[in-house]
Each structure stands twice: as C-alpha cells, then as structure tokens.
Amino acid sequence: MSIRPIVALLAGAMLVALMAFAGGASRGGQMAAEMQNAATEAIAAARGEPITASFETSGGWPTRHALLSGGEDVNEATRAKVAQAVAAIPGVGAVNWADGSIIAENQAMPLTPMHCQEDVEALLRARTIRFEESSSAFDPASLELLDEVAAALRPCLGSIIAITGHTDATGPPAGNLALSQLRALAVKQALIDRGIPSDGLRARGLGSAKPVAGLLPTDPANRRIEFSVIATVPIAPTPVDTPGPR
C-alpha cells in the first residue's frame, strides 16, 4: 500500500475521533447545564442562598460531581439540607464543599479523619508554618517544614485535604480575612509544587474568627495553618485486616 492512502486513512480516523470527542463534550456540557439548573432550584428550595453549585472541573470540563461554595455564614443544618438536596438530583455523583467537607455518592456518610491529619498535626505541634510579616510569602525557614507536610500527606492522596488559614485579632477584620485566605492559598500552591494533586485540596481563610481555645484573640499564636484530611470513601477491612478461620 502506498503512503498516500495510509495518510488518508489516518486523517479519516482522526476526523472521526475528533467528531466523537466534540459530540461527547457537547452532551457533557448539556448534562452539566441541566444539573446546574436543577441544583439552583434545589438550593433555593432549601433556602440555601448564597450557596452555589458548580458542575465544572478546575480545567473547565463538565462533570457530574457538584462543588458547593459560598454561604460560609449559613448554619450547618441548612448546609446539610442543601447538600442532600443537590445529591438527590438524578445523575449527580459526589457532592463536595469547597471548604473540604463532602457527601459521597448521593448519600450522607460519616466523615473519617485520615491518619495523615495526625501526622501533620504532630509536625505542627513543634513547628509552625511562618510567613513574612503581613504577607503571604513564606519565611524561608518554613520551606523544609512544607516538604515534611507534603511527605506526610502523600500516603492519603485521593482524600480531601482542607487547608484553613487563621490570624490573630490585630488589624482590621477584613484585612485579616483576606490575609488568611492568601496564606491558605499559598500553602495549597506549595503542596501542589511538592506533588500533591490540586483536585483534592481546598483552601480557605477564617481571619481571626476562630482563635485557639484558651488564648486571647490578639495572641500571635493564633496565626496558624490547620489541616483537615478526610476520607472520600468508606474504609473497609481488607483480607489482611480480617482474621481468617483457624
């Protein structure tokens, strides 16, 4: 067979593949749009405004997994009602909150803290991720600690890792909130740079709203980063974990 017919066959195959891909993307976009409309109605019925639902991945592709965001001041009962309402929409898969909490596969399930959280907390009991004053730039001495935090989180890839930034109460509340958010995002990017996948990371800042128990709100020790590592699937025993018959 000459080269020219082979080239023509390859070109035809590529054209068919591209048409199939375009058709799939179009159907996926329509599906996401329908779920988006249904979610908006479900959130309104649950009185969950200003919570919103997104059915797009970070890369802009349609997905049936909903990401809920906003409504930080909405009470937990309403947040749970909203998540359940969105999870009940036909075709919806997992329902995640941008702050790291999750409802899996159309039903509520107990959230299981992972052992990685304990490992990270052990690292942070002795040392603190520090930043330049009034900045989201890391103190150079914290870079090694970030390496260790990433290593501790690596065995739990596939989980949701929530990163929460806190400040003390010095300075204006709005500035504290913005700074804590920037620092949480800086930690998120540092973990991505160290090989932790971005799709499992959630970053948010709370400013000075939640000081450490027993400390004055103005105590500098309130300037901290906290991690919450949550399993996204129930942990089931394996044959190695389960004793067999004697």
Residues 210-224 have pLDDT tens digits of 999 999 999 988 999
In CATH, what class is 115-230?
Answer: alpha beta
Is the pLDDT confidence value at 9 over 50?
yes
Query: Higher-confidence residue: 74 or 226?
Result: 226
Taking residue 224's Cβ as centre, other Cβ atoms within 10 Å add up to 19
Which of 20-34, 80-94, 134-148, 187-201 has the least mean pLDDT?
20-34
> pLDDT of 110-139, one tens digit each?
445 567 888 898 999 888 999 988 899 999
For position 186, what pLDDT does the model report? Answer: 95
Cα(104)–Cα(107) distance, rounded to whole angstroms?
6
Q: What percentage of the chain reaches a pLDDT higher than 90?
A: 33
**DSSP string over 18-35:** HHHHHHHHHHHHHHHHHH
Is the preceding peptide bond at 50 cis, omega within 30 degrees of 0? yes
For position 102, what pLDDT does the model report? Answer: 52
> pLDDT of 39-73, one tens digit each?
999 999 998 888 998 888 766 778 877 888 887 77
For position 245, what pLDDT does the model report? Answer: 39
Helices 3-45 and 76-87 pack at an angle, to 10 degrees, of 140
Is the pLDDT confidence value at 204 over 60?
yes
Domains of the chain, residue spans: 3-103, 115-230
Rank 49-58, 105-114, 147-156 by mean pLDDT and report only the highest. 147-156
* Rounded mean pLDDT, 150-179: 90
pLDDT band at 175; cut points 50, 70, 90: very high
Average pLDDT of the chain to the nearest whole number: 78
What tokens does 208 get? 């000075």
